[in-house]
């Protein structure tokens, strides 16, 4: 973990209200360059909302946010951010190739109405290689599995050359080989110095990559520290990280969910 580098995300007292209800409440979060942070918490605890707020997609009701040291209101370097939303299929119904989807990730880099440059094409090819889909470039996205489509979206985010990635449950509903391919791609990114903020219910093959864990509960940050060993003394895995399999079934017994948890 790098603690001596500049913060790339600095949220102070962040609050988001949706439908009149506080969903993110008084969150302080600093992410430094090169960190790999996982954001955990039960269903509905506000993880996706927090990530959307950090990308500027959800306005803050209260608090302040800086990205790369610039207040959100004046931030313009959008090409530095990559965002892979939750449960997003890459297939649109319109026949579109894997390469075309990934190439759309270069649009923040290109001048309006200009043709793709050699650098654009090279970035797309490289992004496809990182996620292990170079051999599927010409195929229609619709012919890919859900896990492969998720990797296409990661390649799209990658193609823009961002150095800060937000990924919202990229492994949900993805089989083990695809999870491993995702972990390989994120490991490559992380080693190249990218900062990664990842929402997940289950780390699986991603676990070795994680520097730091942040846990939300009821919109509040209840843990921020080293990755948690969620296996108890009896070798049982705490149940809530499997909650993704039982959507909206908050059967919680994890450390941050005990009565004595700190606020």
Ligand X SMILES: Nc1ncnc2c1ncn2[C@@H]1O[C@H](COP(=O)(O)OP(=O)(O)OP(=O)(O)O)[C@@H](O)[C@H]1O
40-52 exposure pattern, b = at least 16 Cβ within 10 A, e = fewer: bbbebbbbbbbbb
Which residues are near ligand X by CB under 6 A?
A: 18-19, 23, 41, 43-49
C-beta closer to ligand X: residue 27 or 123? 27
Residue 254 CB, shortest distance to ligand X, in Å, is 14
C-beta closer to ligand X: residue 7 or 250? 250
Token pair of 119, please? 């650098």
Residue 161 CB, shortest distance to ligand X, in Å, is 27
C-beta closer to ligand X: residue 47 or 151? 47
Token pair of 43, please? 């269903």
C-beta closer to ligand X: residue 47 or 220? 47
Residue 214 CB, shortest distance to ligand X, in Å, is 12
Residue 42 CB, shortest distance to ligand X, in Å, is 7
Chain CA centroid to CA 138, Å: 26
Q: What is the DSSP string of 41-104?
A: -STTSSHHHHHHHHTTSS--SEEEEEETTEEGGG---GGGEEEE-TT--S--SS--BHHHHHHG
Q: Taking the CA atoms of the chain, what radius of gyration do you get in angstroms? A: 18
User: 151 with 77: CB under 8 angstroms?
Assistant: no
C-beta closer to ligand X: residue 189 or 216? 216
């Amino acid at each position: 973990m790098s603690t001596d580098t500049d913060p790339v995300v600095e949220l102070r007292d962040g609050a988001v209200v949706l439908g009149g209800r506080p969903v993110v409440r008084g969150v302080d979060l600093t992410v430094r360059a090169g960190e790999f942070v996982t954001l955990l918490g039960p269903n509905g605890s506000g993880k996706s909302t927090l990530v959307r707020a950090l990308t500027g997609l959800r306005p803050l009701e209260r608090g302040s946010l800086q990205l790369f040291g610039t207040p959100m209101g004046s931030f313009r370097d959008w090409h530095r951010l990559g965002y892979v939303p939750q449960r997003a299929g890459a297939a649109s119904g319109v026949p579109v190739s894997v390469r075309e989807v990934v190439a759309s990730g270069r649009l923040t880099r290109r001048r309006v109405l200009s043709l793709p440059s050699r650098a654009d094409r090279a970035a797309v090819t490289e992004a496809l290689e990182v996620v292990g889909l170079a051999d599927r470039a010409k195929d229609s996205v619709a012919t890919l599995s859900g896990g492969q489509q998720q990797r296409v979206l990661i390649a799209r985010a990658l193609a823009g050359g961002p150095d800060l990635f937000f990924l919202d449950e990229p492994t949900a509903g993805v089989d083990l080989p695809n999870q491993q391919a995702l972990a390989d791609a994120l490991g490559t990114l992380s080693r190249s110095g990218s900062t990664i903020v990842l929402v997940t219910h289950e780390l699986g093959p991603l676990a070795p990559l994680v520097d730091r864990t942040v846990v939300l509960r009821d919109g509040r940050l209840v843990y921020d520290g080293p990755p948690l060993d969620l296996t108890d003394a009896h070798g049982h895995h705490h149940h809530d990280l499997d909650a993704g399999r039982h959507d909206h079934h908050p059967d919680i017994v994890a450390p941050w969910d005990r009565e004595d948890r700190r606020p």
